[in-house]
Amino acid sequence: MRTAVSDLMAALDESGRRRAGHAFDDEAARRWLEYRPRPRPGVPLADLDVSARKAAHRLLATALSPPAYAQAMAIIALEEVLDRAEGWLRGRHSGDYWVALFGDPADDRWGWRIEGHHLSVTMTVVDDQVSPAPLFFGANPATVRHAGRPVSRPLGAEEDLARELLDALGPAGRAAAIVADEAPTDIISATRPTARGRLDPLGVPRNRLTPTGRALLDRLVALYLDRLPPELAGREADRLDGGELHFAWAGPTGPGQRHYYRVQADDLLIEYDNTTDDGNHAHTVLRRPASDFGADVLAAHHATAH
């Protein structure tokens, strides 16, 4: 990441470096999360030349596994599909994704973010420890079909695996997991810089599931953690040992309708929603309520260094 940030800074012109760079202690800019098409801290890819845009892509790739990087590229490309579907009225474009840098990679505290409509990847680095949350992926349209088959469905696995888990719960397990007949209008953690530590009702705990249900819930969590490179995904998975997972679903269980689910454990919140009437606009987020934006590594740094 340090090398990729340095390469990006070298590829930016003076105006780009000034717009992208922020002080690490600028909390409003650094603890920013926004998945709607709004102006945001940083410099948009549309304003960068080809070499700088490629440097930004290489930086993004340091934070994501190869499959997740492919998801991110598909999400960005959907801006052009959505713009056409809306009659070209809102001027959406795939260059409306912004890169922001916080602090100096030569220091012991620094970070970066690449973000736009339906993608937000935030990495905080303290004493060479990477804190990789929040991590937001969305898709609108969630599915594009041709001849009755999907040609674009970047978040399909996130929906299908949760439905497979719901089916495997059985009547009693589904009764405990389904916490509302209607889905919320959006992910509940929203764009807040700090996620709530617990969302009630919790749903069904992992220890009440059958072996098949437990295996599917573990696969669902792994699906989100595996958005990260293996060395980061493995560390984040290790932090879950001993914490009880809970799975909750809201809304109808059939496809093509508004639905929502979440997975929670100690310092873990995964949320998924598909919020339009036809169930074709998806949001997903991986958050660490006590550790978002590097709170975990910063606390350890302050305890050691101060």
Residues comprising the chain, all counted: 306
Residue whose C-alpha is closest to residue 72's, from 57, 51, 93, 55: 57
pLDDT by residue for the chain (306 residues), tens digit each? 999 999 999 999 999 999 999 999 999 999 999 999 999 999 999 999 999 999 999 999 999 999 999 999 999 999 999 999 999 999 999 999 999 999 999 999 999 999 999 999 999 999 999 999 999 999 999 999 999 999 999 999 999 999 999 999 999 999 999 999 999 999 999 999 999 889 999 999 999 999 999 999 999 999 999 999 999 999 999 988 767 999 999 999 988 899 999 999 999 999 999 988 788 999 999 999 999 999 999 988 878 876
CB 109 within 8 A of CB 26: no
What pLDDT was estimated at residue 239?
85
- Residue 143 and residue 157: Cα distance in Å, rounded? 12
CB 252 within 8 A of CB 259: yes
Rounded to 10 degrees, the C-alpha dihedral 187/209/67/98 comes to 20
In 147-226, at which residue ranges do the beta strands (DSSP E only) sit? 149-152, 178-180, 204-205
- Residue 14 and residue 26: Cα distance in Å, rounded? 20
What pLDDT was estimated at residue 306?
62
Radius of gyration in angstroms for the set of CA atoms belonging to the chain, rounded to a whole number: 19
Residue whose C-alpha is closest to residue 166's, from 230, 94, 262, 58: 262
Burial per residue of 24-63, b for 16 or more beta-carbon CB atoms within 10 angstroms, e otherwise: beeeebbbbbbbebeebbbbbbebbeeebbebbbebbbbb
Greatest alpha-carbon pair distance for the chain in Å reads: 62
What pLDDT was estimated at residue 242?
63
In the chain, at which residue ranges do the beta strands (DSSP E only) sit? 21-22, 43-44, 97-103, 109-116, 119-126, 129-131, 135-139, 144-146, 149-152, 178-180, 204-205, 246-250, 259-265, 268-274, 282-287
